[in-house]
Amino acid sequence: MNHQILVLGTGKSTSYLLDYLLDKAKEEELHITIADLHPEILPEKILKHRHTTIVTLDIKDTDKRTKLIQESELVISMLPAFLHILVAKDCLAAGKHLVTASYISDALQQLDAEVKQKGLVFMNEIGLDPGIDHMSAMEVIDRIRDNGGKMVLFESFCGGLVAPENDTNLWNYKFTWNPRNVVIAGQGGTAKFIQEGTYKYIPYHKLFRRTEFLDVEGYGKFEAYANRDSLKYREAYGLQDVLTLYRGTMRRVGFSKAWHMFVQLGMTDDSYLLENSKGMTFREFTNLFLPYSPTDSVELKLRHYLKIDQDDIMWEKLMELNLFDDKKTIPLKNASPAQVLQYILEQSWTLQDGEKDMIVMYHKFGYELNGQKYQIDANMVVKGENQTYTAMAKTVGLPVAIAALKIIKGEINTPGVQIPITKEVYKPILEELKNHGIVFKEHKVPYLGYNPDSVAS
C-alpha cells in the first residue's frame, strides 16, 4: 500500500521538494497529493505524474481540507506561516504527522503535549534558515562537546543573494525571496545578542550601521547585520553559558550603509498609510520625506538631508533606483511607505530570465579544550540553476522533503512539536543533503572571540 503524502501549497520553494518526492515515489511507494488554490501553474511533468493527485483547494474550505488530511499519512505545509496552526490542529485531530519550514509559533508549541501523547512527529523549522542553520550548527556543537570541549562562542549568518555572474547593480543585491521581508527587516523590536559575556542591544535606527565582516573563500567579502533576537535558541542549542551568541543576515559589503539611508528617510515605515499613494510619481514619493523648500530641488534637499555629496557612491546608488523619476508612477492605493519602496525596488531588483540566486551561510564556533581556546569557521554556498530551480528553493525544499520521507519510514520517530536539533534528525538529513551539493566547508582558525575592529561604527 502506498504512503500518502499531502503537500499544501505550491509556492516558490516547492520545485526541488516535489521533484525529490516524485523521484522517490516508485521506490518508496509514495503517492503525493498536491493541493493549492492555483495548482494549474505546476509543471506538466508534475500535473501528469502517475504518482500525483492534483487538487484545487481554498485552505479556508474546512470540509475539503480536513478530508484531504484524514486521507493522508503525513502533511507538508508550505502555506504562509500563519496558516500552519489550522493545518496542525487538523493533523492532531486526525492523527497525522506534519512537516513545515516555518518558525514554531506559540500556538503550535502549545499542542506539544497532545502531539506527544498521540505519538506524532510535528517537525518544524526544517528549511534553510530556520533549518539547515540548526542542523549544521548542532552537528559541530555536538562534536565539540563529545570531544570534551566547552562552547564559548557561536555566531551564525545567512543571506539570500544574487549569484556573482548576475550581480549587475551598485547595491550588489536583487530580490531572491519575499521582497517584503527585506524591506521591513529588523523592525518591530531591538536586536539583542551577547558578546564576550555582555548583553548588547541595537535599536532599529542603528541596525544597519553595526555590521560584522566575513570572508568566504572564492566568493569574497560579505557583511552581516544582527537578527532581531539572537538569544532565541540559547536553550535549544544548550548554549546558556556561552560568552558570545550572535545571529545575523548577510549582504555584500556596502549594502547596509546604503540601506540605512532609507531608514533615515522613513521610507521603510510600515505603520501608516499614504492617503494619495496611487498615481504618485517616484519623485513625489521621495519628496514626501524631505523638508519643504520653494527653491531647492528634490535632489538637492535629499543630498543635504543625508549629508552626501554628488560624487558619493551612495548618491549613485539612489540614482540607480530612479527615485527622482517624474514619469514612473505608483499603482498602489493607500499603501504604506514600505509598500511603495518595495514596489520601486522591485523595478530594479527583480531577477531577470536566466539570472541565478545564491545562498551563503556562515557559522563561527569558539570553544575551550584543555585550557586552550579554538575556533572553527564553517561556510556553505549554493547557487541556483534558474528562476524555478533556485538556491532558495533547493535549500528550503530539500530538507523538508528528506525529513518527510524519513518520518514516513519511521527513521525519525521521536514524537512532539520540534525543531531539527537532535542527532536522530540532523545526521541523516545533512548526509543526504551532501549528495545534492549542500555542503559545509570547515576551517580551523585562531580563536578571535569578538573582534571590535570587524564592526562598523
398-441 confidence digits (pLDDT tens): 999 999 999 999 999 999 999 999 999 999 999 999 999 999 99
What kind and span of H or E run contains 74? strand 74-77
Q: What's the confidence (pLDDT) of residue 444?
A: 86
Q: Domain residues for 98?
A: 3-124
377 domain residue, yes or no: no
403 domain residue, yes or no: no
Q: What's the confidence (pLDDT) of residue 125?
A: 95
104 domain residue, yes or no: yes
What kind and span of H or E run contains 211? strand 211-216
Cβ within 8 Å of residue 277, ≥6 positions away: 285, 330, 332, 333, 334, 335, 339, 340
110 domain residue, yes or no: yes
Residue 453 clears pLDDT 70, i.e. is over it = no
Cis-peptide, bond into residue 203, ω within 30° of zero: no
Q: What's the confidence (pLDDT) of residue 306?
A: 95
Q: How many domains does the chain contain in total?
A: 1
Q: What's the confidence (pLDDT) of residue 450?
A: 56
Q: What's the confidence (pLDDT) of residue 451?
A: 55
Q: Helix, strand, coil shares of the chain as percentages rounded to 5?
A: 35, 25, 40
End-to-end CA distance of the chain, in Å? 62
DSSP string, 246-282: EEEEEEETTHHHHHHHHHHHTTT--SS--TT-TT-BH
Q: What's the confidence (pLDDT) of residue 387?
A: 85
301-349 confidence digits (pLDDT tens): 999 999 999 899 999 999 999 999 999 999 999 999 999 999 999 999 9
The cell numbers describing 244, all together, are 558570545
pLDDT averaged over every residue in the chain = 93
Residue 73 clears pLDDT 70, i.e. is over it = yes
232 domain residue, yes or no: no
Burial category of 146 from C-beta neighbours within 10 Å (exposed 0-12, middle 13-18, buried 19 and up): exposed
The cell numbers describing 301, all together, are 534637499
Cβ within 8 Å of residue 222, ≥6 positions away: 157, 159, 213, 214, 215, 216, 250, 251, 252, 253, 360, 362
22 domain residue, yes or no: yes
Q: What's the confidence (pLDDT) of residue 457?
A: 37
Cβ within 8 Å of residue 151, ≥6 positions away: 141, 144, 145, 238, 239, 241, 242, 365, 366, 367
Residue 188 clears pLDDT 80, i.e. is over it = no
Q: What is the DSSP-derived secondary structure letter of residue 329?
A: B
What 231-236 contacts at long range (C-beta under 8 Å, 24+ apart), as own/partner pairs, is 231/192, 231/193, 231/194, 233/134, 236/134, 236/419, 236/421
pTM: 0.90
CATH of the domain at 70: 3.40.50.720
- Whether 17 and 76 have beta carbons less than 8 Å apart is answered as yes
Q: What's the confidence (pLDDT) of residue 452?
A: 44
440 domain residue, yes or no: no
56 domain residue, yes or no: yes
- Whether 103 and 417 have beta carbons less than 8 Å apart is answered as no
